[in-house]
């Protein structure tokens, strides 16, 4: 617990920018962590099915965007991969 003096201190910052920055940083770290842990998301083009079926579902074709896997690399993971490549090339 903080001493009682801190509670009576004069307000130097009327806006809680520190909290806002902290929350943003936390969200960014959380997003980066989730992209690292779950690099794939459901393909938006085929809704994760990997293929398109005709209305009667007798014929189908594979989704060209995800090449039939039904998953796509998340935007955050793409950025991560780009940085990883730059780091690899540097060495």
* Interface residue list for Zn ion (CB under 5 A): 43, 45-46, 63, 65-66
Return the number of the residue (35 or 46) whose C-beta is nearest Zn ion. Answer: 46
Return the number of the residue (65 or 78) whose C-beta is nearest Zn ion. Answer: 65
C-alpha 66/C-alpha 64 separation (Å) is: 6
Q: What are phi and psi of 71, to 5 degrees?
A: -125, 155
Least gap, CB of 70 to Zn ion (angstroms): 6
CA 74, 76, 82, 86 dihedral sign is negative
Return the number of the residue (35 or 43) whose C-beta is nearest Zn ion. Answer: 43
């Amino acid at each position: 617990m903080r001493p009682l003096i801190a509670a009576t201190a004069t307000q130097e910052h009327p806006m809680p920018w520190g909290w806002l920055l902290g929350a943003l940083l936390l969200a960014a770290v959380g997003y980066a962590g989730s992209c690292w842990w779950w690099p794939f998301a459901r393909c938006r083009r085929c809704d994760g099915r990997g293929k398109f079926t005709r209305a009667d579902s007798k014929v189908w074709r594979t989704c060209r965007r995800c090449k039939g896997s039904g998953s796509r690399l998340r935007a955050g993971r793409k950025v991560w991969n780009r940085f990883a490549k730059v780091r690899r090339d540097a060495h």
